[in-house]
Chain A
Amino acid sequence: MSGRGIRQLSIATALVLFAGFALVFFWVPMDADQGFKQKIFYLHVPLAIVALAGFIAGGVEGYRHLRSDDRRHDANSYVFIHLSIIFGVAVLITGALWAKASWGHYWVWNEPTLVSFLIVFLLYCTYYPFRYAIEDRDRQARYASVFAITAGAFVPLNFMAVRMADSLIHPRVFATSDGGLPGSMMFTFLVCLAGIALLWVTLVKLELLGKQTSGQVSRLRRALEAEGLGGGQEATGTVGRRIAPNLEAQ
C-alpha cells in the first residue's frame, strides 16, 4: 500500500461521510420506536463493522507476513489493528451513549453483544504490550503475526456465538424475521458504512505513508553515515522507531 491517490481518497471520504450524515439528519425518517436517538445507529454500527473487519484484515495480513516473510505485511497488520482499536474506542463510547439514551444505563453486563465486543477490544489492547515486550524485530514481527491470526480468527467466531445467543435487549436489525430495516434507513446506513470504511482506508494509507517515509529517512541516514556524511544528529530517523514497524527493511 502506498501514498498514491491519498488526496482523491480523502476527498471521496469527506464527500461520502458528509452525504451520509446529511442523509441521517435531513432525509431519513425518524424511527417510530426510538425516535431521534436512533440516529446514533448510523455512526455506531458502521464503526463496529469496520473495526471488526479491520481486526480480521489484520489477521489476514499477519498470515501473509508469515507466508512471505515480507515486512510490509507486518506493517499492514500493525496499522490495521492499530486503527481498528481506535475505531473500537469510538464504538464503545457511542454505544454507551446510545445505551444510556435507550436503556437508561451506559453499560449492561448481561448483554452478550456488548460484553463480547468489549472482550474483543480488550484482547486487541494486549497486542501492543505483547508486541513490544519482544526486542528482536524479526521475532517481534512473527509473534505479532501469530497473535493477529489467532485473534482475527476469534472475531468471527465470537460474532457467530453472539448471534446464536438469546439477546436480552440489544436490537437485531439485520437478517431478522421481522423484516429488518426499511429501504430509506438501509440506504442511509449503507452510505454511512461506505463513508466509515473509506475513512478507515484513508487513515490506514496515511499511517502507512508515514511509516514508509520514516523508514526511507532512516535508510538515507544510514547510507549517509556509511559515506562519511551526517551522523551528527540523533533525532534523524527516529519517527516511528519506538513503537511501530517503520518499513526500514523495504
Chain B
Amino acid sequence: MFDAVPNDDTGYVFAAYMVFLVLLLVYLGILGAKFQRINRDIGRLTDEVESGGDPGSAEAKSGAEEPTGV
C-alpha cells in the first residue's frame, strides 16, 4: 500500500488525510448497516404485533413493505 504513495510531501499529506476520511466513511457505513438491520427488526416486530403473532403473514407483510426510519 505504502509503495503507491508519491514520494513528495504533498502525496504524504494527502494520503494521511485520505486515510482518515476513508476510515471515517467505512466506520459510518458499518454503523449505517447496523441501523438498517435494527430498522428491519423493528419493522418485523411491528408486523408480527399487527398480524396477531402469525409469523407467516408477518413475514409476507414485512417482505412487501419498506421499513421506516429509526
Question: Do B53 and A37 have beta carbons less than 8 Å apart?
Answer: no
B25 CB-CB contact with A under 8 Å = no
Q: What is the bound-complex CA distance between A96 and B35, given in angstroms?
A: 33
Question: Do A240 and B34 have beta carbons less than 8 Å apart?
Answer: yes
Partner of A210, one of B23, B31, B52, B54: B31
Q: How large is the interface on B (under 10, 10 to 19, 20 to 34, 35 or more residues)?
A: 20 to 34
| Per-position binary interface string of chain A over residues 74-111, scored 1 when its CB falls under 8 Å from any chain B CB and 0 otherwise | 00000000000010011001101110110000100000
A40 CB-CB contact with B under 8 Å = yes
B56 partner residues in chain A, CB cutoff 8 A: 232
Question: Do B58 and A40 have beta carbons less than 8 Å apart?
Answer: no
A227 partner residues in chain B, CB cutoff 8 A: 53
Partner of B16, one of A89, A98, A224: A98
Q: What is the bound-complex CA distance between A220 and B44, given in angstroms?
A: 12
Partner of B53, one of A40, A98, A229: A229
Question: Do B12 and A101 have beta carbons less than 8 Å apart?
Answer: yes
B52 to chain A, nearest CB (A): 7
Question: Do A44 and B44 have beta carbons less than 8 Å apart?
Answer: no
Interface residues of B in 30-70 (CB under 8 A from A): 31, 34-35, 37-38, 40-42, 44-45, 48-49, 52-56, 58-59, 70
A140 CB-CB contact with B under 8 Å = no
Question: Do A44 and B16 have beta carbons less than 8 Å apart?
Answer: yes
B16 partner residues in chain A, CB cutoff 8 A: 40, 43-44, 93-94, 97-98
Partner of A232, one of B9, B17, B23, B48: B48
Question: Do A233 and B59 have beta carbons less than 8 Å apart?
Answer: yes
A96: nearest chain-B partner, CB-CB: B2
Question: Do B20 and A47 have beta carbons less than 8 Å apart?
Answer: yes
B9 partner residues in chain A, CB cutoff 8 A: 35-37, 101
A64 to chain B, nearest CB (A): 25
B70 to chain A, nearest CB (A): 6
Question: Do B55 and A236 have beta carbons less than 8 Å apart?
Answer: no
B2: nearest chain-A partner, CB-CB: A106
B27 partner residues in chain A, CB cutoff 8 A: 86, 203
Question: Do B13 and A217 have beta carbons less than 8 Å apart?
Answer: no
Question: Do A37 and B12 have beta carbons less than 8 Å apart?
Answer: yes
A206 CB-CB contact with B under 8 Å = yes
Offer 14 A-B interface pairs, CB within 8 angstroms, sorted by A.
Answer: A37-B9, A89-B23, A94-B16, A96-B2, A100-B12, A207-B31, A213-B35, A217-B45, A220-B45, A229-B53, A230-B48, A230-B49, A235-B44, A236-B41
Interface residues, chain A, CB within 8 Å of chain B? Answer: 21, 35-37, 39-40, 43-44, 47, 86, 89-90, 93-94, 96-98, 100-101, 106, 199, 203, 206-207, 210, 213-214, 217, 220-221, 224, 227-233, 235-240
Known: A231-B55, A233-B58, A233-B59. 5 other contacts (CB 8 A): A97-B2, A97-B19, A100-B12, A210-B38, A230-B55
